[in-house]
């Protein structure tokens, strides 16, 4: 087993380190989501991990880096969803699938969608906003696809996207304070409302 340890050891180390670093960020991100970045101190973060403030600096350069990585983690997950095929029979269904996965991600995986971009340095801000813009653009493309194949009503795609992306971001404010709701139920409900709104009847327009 010596052979295996000497070979696996350094690999394990890096993995352990990466895992712990990830734990730090996930835990912090969750706190940021609930209480906000500036209302969460490094001591808070350390305590919930059973560590000391100073120990955090073994895993991250500074507090801002945690915020940066938190944002990144969420966006990477969302990009992952956008990459996966899961194609329906038209643009609308594709969009529904993506949106459902977004909601499930945010209600079940522990990944947090944050909004505080202004607490980042100018540089990081640029990276994060670009990332977000990229995701938005891809979602907008899905909508435009739906326009073309006739599955989605024609209108300013940008506005259409902003409207329902708001529902995702607003989740932070109320989800899990309403513990009785299952993530999947929310996802299904939201998809339905994304598609058909709230009207009961069939008439288009006035």
Partner DNA sequence: AATAAATTTGACTCAAGGTTCAAATTTTAT
Partner DNA sequence: ATAAAATTTGAACCTTGAGTCAAATTTATT
Cβ atoms of residues 143 and 157 within 8 Å: yes
123 lies in the site for a second copy, by CB under 8 A: no
Find the shortest distance in angstroms from Cβ 73 to a second copy. Answer: 19
> Binder to a second copy among 41, 52, 108, 193 (CB under 8 A)?
193
> Binder to a second copy among 14, 181, 182, 184 (CB under 8 A)?
181
Return the exposure string of 66-87: e unless at least 16 CB atoms fall within 10 Å of the residue's CB, then b. Answer: bbbbbbebbbebbeebbeeeee
- Select the span of 37-45, 84-92, 154-162, 175-183 touching DNA (CB under 7 A): 37-45
In the structure encoding, which two tokens stand for residue 24, read together?
């730090």
Find the shortest distance in angstroms from Cβ 142 to a second copy. Answer: 11
17 lies in the site for DNA, by CB under 7 A: yes
66 vs 179: CA distance, rounded Å: 27
104 vs 184: CA distance, rounded Å: 6
> Binder to DNA among 13, 86, 182, 189 (CB under 7 A)?
13
- Select the span of 10-18, 79-87, 115-123, 168-176 touching DNA (CB under 7 A): 10-18
Angle at 44 between CA 68 and CA 170, to 5 degrees: 55
DSSP code per residue over 44-87: HHHHHTT--HHHHTTT-S-HHHHHHHHHHHHHHHHHHHHHS---
197 lies in the site for a second copy, by CB under 8 A: yes
Cβ atoms of residues 71 and 115 within 8 Å: no
**Among a second copy, DNA, none, residue 168 binds (CB under 5-8 Å by kind):** a second copy
110 lies in the site for a second copy, by CB under 8 A: no
In the structure encoding, which two tokens stand for residue 48, read together?
């919930």
104 vs 52: CA distance, rounded Å: 33
**Among a second copy, DNA, none, residue 53 binds (CB under 5-8 Å by kind):** DNA
- Residues interacting with a second copy, by CB under 8 A? 34-39, 92, 95, 115-116, 118-119, 143, 146, 150-156, 158-160, 162-171, 173-174, 178, 181, 186, 189-190, 192-202, 204
- Residues interacting with DNA, by CB under 7 A? 5-6, 9-10, 13, 16-17, 20, 38, 40-43, 46, 50-55, 57-59, 61-64
């Amino acid at each position: 087993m010596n052979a295996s340890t000497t070979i696996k050891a350094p690999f394990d180390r890096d993995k352990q380190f990466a895992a712990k670093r990830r734990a730090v960020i996930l835990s912090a991100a969750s706190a940021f989501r609930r209480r906000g970045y500036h209302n969460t101190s490094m001591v808070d973060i350390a305590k919930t991990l059973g560590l000391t403030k100073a120990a955090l600096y073994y895993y991250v350069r500074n507090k801002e880096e945690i915020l940066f990585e938190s944002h990144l983690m969420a966006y990477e997950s969302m990009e992952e969803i956008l990459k996966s095929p899961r194609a329906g029979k038209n643009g609308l269904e594709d969009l529904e699938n993506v949106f459902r996965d977004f909601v499930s991600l945010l209600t079940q995986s522990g990944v947090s969608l944050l909004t505080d971009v202004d607490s980042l340095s100018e540089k990081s801000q640029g990276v994060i906003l670009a990332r977000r813009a990229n995701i938005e653009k891809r979602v907008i493309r899905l909508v435009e696809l739906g326009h073309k194949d006739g599955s989605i009503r024609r209108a300013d795609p940008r506005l259409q996207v902003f409207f329902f992306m708001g529902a995702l971001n607003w989740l932070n404010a109320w989800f899990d304070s309403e513990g009785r709701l299952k993530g999947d139920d929310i996802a299904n409900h939201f998809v339905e409302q994304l598609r058909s709104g709230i009207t009961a009847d069939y008439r288009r327009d006035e």
